[in-house]
Chain A
Amino acid sequence: MKAIEIEGLIKEFDGIRAVDGISLEIEYGEIFSLLGPNGAGKTTTISILATLLKPTKGKARVNGYDVVTQAAKVRHSIGIVFQDPSLDDRLTARENLDIHGRLYHMKKDERKKRIEEVLEMVELRERADSLVKTFSGGMRRRLEIARGLMHKPRILFLDEPTLGLDPQTRRHIWNYIEKLRDEGVTVLLTTHYMEEADKLADRVAIIDRGKIVALGSPSELKDSIGGDVIKIKCSNADKMAAILSSNGFNAMIVDNEIIIKAKKAEKEIPRIFSLAKGIEIKSIMYKEPSLEDVFIHYTGKAYREEAGDEMEAIKRRWRMRR
């Protein structure tokens, strides 16, 4: 049995496909990341797995239970940290955890003991009896993670856990997520931060427009695009790309830059210069591929972390804090 099994999952909203035939399996104990731009279908997928939405077509099993017919059992098996804040900020940290424990039918002694454990884990013990209203964004996030773990779920869903947090806090949260690996919790993490998936995940599924475009460990994915990435800026990108393509390179234009892959980039660069007759090369660089290059390779388009949407999310969160 796998922790999560998804088969041909489809979700339509008014005829628009948010999730378009996703299939994948996640092992117990794995940290698995769904990586993709905003609107790729990550949150919809998590919502289906958490039994908050019903799939239009396809099947999904979580901890061996069907998400449609055995919803209550699925809910007992999972913890979830939502993308939007969901703490009660008029309650203290301890009260938030206690109510959560009650909702998951934990006995009184069990709740008491577990509250200390999870607060210890996210280093919030001293603030246990402060109102959540007084917490910073990072502290709230940590408390939400603690709450997600409160009832000892086998599987934890983290939907954009570091969205809108500053880099330092983000690193802090990453540390906690890495600790989960030691606890044997299976983690399904959605993110649109490449770095986050690269750093944390054992395996990554890159998703775009509701479809999985690539799946594997971060290093497998980076190897799969075949060597280094060379980026060229020049006076006539179209013409240059055509020349390169006719000379055996696989050239792609993304954002007015030419991108080619090469096994040994340092040997190919002199050839590129000799081919560029009459075209001025403004800059040329090469690097080892990142997950961003993997995304570009499989979707043929630039990856944007969509700052606009992120600002919206930060604003939303800020409003809620008041």
Chain B
Amino acid sequence: MEDEKMMGDVYAVYLRELIRLWRQKVRLVTTIVMPLLWLGVIGNAFNNAFKMPFKGDFLSFLTPGILVMTMVFTSTISGITTVFDREFGFLKEMLVAPIKRESILIGKMLGGVTQAILQGVIIIILAIIMGVNFKGVAAIPGMLLTMFLVSIAFVSFGLAVASKMTSMEGFQMVMNFLIQPMIFLSGAFYPTKMLPSWLKIGVKLNPLTYGVDAMRYFAIGINEFNVVIDLMVMIVLSIVFILLGGYLFRKS
């Protein structure tokens, strides 16, 4: 009975997120311009310029990386906007309703994850049109799982950051000093083998490396680490960020 009630509450919060998402469908399309530029321009340019140190073309190599990048950006931003809901008052409406704080949190997280995965799916379709060779239908479940793990982790990360943040400048800081380096050091854009050894340390310490590796494994069958380790890292990262984000959000 209690669980059923909570499901209903989560759904109410989530439903609102879905309606908002639907109303902003134009924005959903415009925000994938950036990843498309990466694929269409950089992908195609480098495709002809370099020979990859393994089988396959650069465009197919790059696509999983761009997918992860998109997940990270979209999820972080949606986590952050959750906190800005507070400024727009609707959060108050939910806080005074007879529902658990957890329901609000879960509903909101699922909303962010849905948005990120929708964008991911659009990118996958466009990549197929551009001629990227995925592993076929078998690639889909693994890619969705990886997308889910990356986005839930970074929605929570966004929540955690925004709960401690007071201004939009703080948001720029986080993007420039945390998110961007994480993406650049994740092997999203290039094979990490090509890096000098001192940079490789950064790559290995970066949890996102394992997300990109898992995505690439599921999408095109190329990987550097054991995919089980990849997924373990992502699951641990998700749990840590969910707990941290949940804790900071409740406290703020």
Contacts and interface: CB of A to CB of B under 8 A. Distances in A.
A52 B98 contact: no
A95 B94 CA distance: 14
Contacts of B5: 105
Contacts of A52: 92, 95-96
Contacts of B94: 103
Contacts of B16: 88, 91, 95, 99
Given A84-B89, A85-B89, A88-B90, A75 B20 contact: no
A320 B84 CA distance: 12
Interface in A90-144: 90-91, 95, 99-100, 102-105, 131
B89 A82 contact: yes
A76 B98 contact: yes
Contacts of A185: none
B88 interface: yes
Contacts of A291: none
A86 B12 contact: no
A84 B87 CA distance: 10
Given A50-B96, A103-B9, A105-B98, A90 B88 contact: no
Interface residues of B, number: 23
Contact of A88 (B8, B20, B98, B99): B20
Contacts, number: 68
A191 interface: no
Contacts of B8: 102, 105
Please tell me the size bucket of the interface on A. Answer: 20 to 34
> Which of A76, A85, A103 is the most central at the interface, judged by chain B CB atoms within 10 Å of its CB?
A103
A160 to B, nearest CB: 14
A190 interface: no
Contacts of A320: 88-89
A80 B20 CA distance: 24
Contacts of A215: none
B97 A104 contact: yes
A102 B96 contact: no
B115 to A, nearest CB: 14
A51 interface: yes
Interface string B74-97: 000000000000001110111111
A63 B201 CA distance: 62
Interface in B16-41: 16, 19-20, 23-24
A24 interface: no
8 contacts: A82-B93, A87-B90, A91-B20, A99-B16, A102-B8, A102-B15, A103-B12, A131-B23
A115 to B, nearest CB: 15
Contacts of A242: none
Contacts of B98: 72-73, 75-76, 103-105
Contacts of B23: 90, 131
Given A102-B11, A104-B98, A86 B92 contact: yes
Nearest to B95: A52
Contacts of A76: 98
A307 B104 CA distance: 37
